[in-house]
């Protein structure tokens, strides 16, 4: 049994798509290669069902209902995780997979805390959860953030009209679109790509600040249309996505879920750190602008301000 498998792995967004596939890939490993599982996702039948499937495979599983669009929920989930660890209900925390994500159709939409919804769920919620649990990990441990190559544009994404990130100060990225800004698919795509560039910047800065023995990496599952990520875009777009999945070299949860499980568990990836970027099953270099110490430091500072502001608003005057 390797060190990660001897502990507990937390996964966000385990109810469908990539997260569900990764959860079940871990649960179905032999007992000697299988950690305990903490599943953090929206409360309901889907969360209960995936937990039951993982238990049926032999895993020790606890599930925690959490709406990642509500930072009070995220903070509460962190407290529940700490309680389970303190009570010995699960083994030491050695892995966290920040998988949950959305791509909302309208950037006017705000989270419960007033932040642009894509940025709030994809980035801020995970920064809150990781930050709350950072002193709880037992080394060696791994934090795996789910990223995307959409942060930059290539010929393929240009043909598909997938816009790259347009970086601005993080406080600005956290603001919903102004009322006079039209809701367009381009704005939605930019918000998604910005959130994924934020994840790369955060991974680099987190590695600088994390305790020794906690390795931080970013996993890109490949182009994976037709998943729950596009649920806010309606059934038409999702049907198109499922058709595109049949094209050779297009990814699916069936392929990428086990690859994500491997990143967090297998000895092959034990030295992966520093925000190393893995596309499917190979480490890749990110574009030069995705390594920017000044932006990374500012993102860390602004994230603290945004999370503190949400917590203060919850407490009231």
- Checking if the pLDDT of 231 tops 50, the result is no
Residues with Cβ within 8 Å of residue 237, at least 6 apart in sequence: 230
Asked if the peptide bond before residue 140 counts as cis, ω within 30 degrees of 0, the response is yes
pLDDT at 157 (0 to 100): 84
Encode pLDDT of 16-43 as tens digits: 999 999 999 999 999 999 999 999 999 9
- pLDDT (average), residues 258-271: 97
- Confidence band for 47, pLDDT divided at 50, 70 and 90: very high
Range of the domain at 166: 4-315
Where residue 191 sits, what CATH number does that domain have?
3.40.50.720
* Residue showing tokens 């037992």: 138
Percentage of the chain lying above the pLDDT 70 cut: 90
- Tell me how many domains the chain contains: 1
- Provide the b/e sequence for 57-73 (b: ≥16 CB within 10 Å): bebbbbbbbbbbbbbbb
**DSSP state for residue 6 in the 8-state scheme:** T
- Confidence band for 235, pLDDT divided at 50, 70 and 90: very low
Residues with Cβ within 8 Å of residue 1, at least 6 apart in sequence: 32, 33
Q: What is the pTM of this model?
A: 0.92
- Confidence band for 249, pLDDT divided at 50, 70 and 90: low
pLDDT at 313 (0 to 100): 86
Residues with Cβ within 8 Å of residue 262, at least 6 apart in sequence: 268, 269, 281
Encode pLDDT of 267-312 as tens digits: 999 999 999 999 999 999 999 999 999 999 999 999 999 999 999 9
């Amino acid at each position: 049994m390797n060190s990660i498998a001897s502990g507990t792995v937390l996964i966000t967004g385990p109810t469908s798509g990539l997260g569900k596939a990764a959860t079940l890939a871990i649960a179905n490993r032999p007992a000697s290669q299988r950690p305990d599982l903490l599943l953090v996702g929206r409360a309901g039948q889907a969360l209960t069902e995936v937990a039951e499937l993982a238990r049926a495979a032999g895993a020790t599983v606890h599930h925690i209902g959490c709406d990642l669009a509500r930072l009070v929920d995220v903070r509460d989930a962190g407290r529940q995780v700490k309680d389970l660890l303190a009570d010995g209900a699960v083994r030491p925390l050695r892995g966290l997979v920040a998988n949950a994500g959305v791509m909302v159709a309208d950037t006017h939409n705000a989270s419960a805390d007033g932040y642009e919804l894509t940025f709030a769920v994809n980035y801020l919620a995970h920064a809150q959860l990781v930050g709350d649990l950072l002193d709880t990990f037992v080394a060696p441990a791994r934090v795996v953030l789910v990223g995307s190559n959409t942060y930059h544009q290539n010929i393929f994404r240009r043909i598909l009209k997938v816009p790259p990130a347009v970086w601005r100060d993080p406080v600005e990225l956290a603001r919903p679109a102004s009322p006079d800004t039209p809701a367009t698919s381009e704005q939605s795509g930019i918000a998604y790509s910005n959130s994924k560039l934020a994840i790369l910047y955060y991974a680099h800065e987190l590695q600088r600040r994390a305790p020794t023995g906690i390795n931080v990496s970013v996993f890109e599952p490949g182009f994976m249309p037709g998943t729950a990520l596009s649920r806010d875009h309606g059934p038409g777009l999702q049907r198109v996505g499922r058709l595109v999945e049949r094209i050779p070299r297009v990814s699916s949860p069936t392929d990428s879920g086990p690859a994500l499980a491997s990143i967090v568990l297998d000895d092959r990836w034990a030295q992966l750190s520093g925000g190393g970027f893995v596309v499917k099953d190979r480490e890749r270099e990110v574009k030069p602008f995705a390594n920017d110490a000044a932006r990374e430091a500012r993102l860390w500072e602004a994230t603290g301000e945004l999370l503190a502001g949400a917590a203060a608003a919850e407490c009231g005057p």
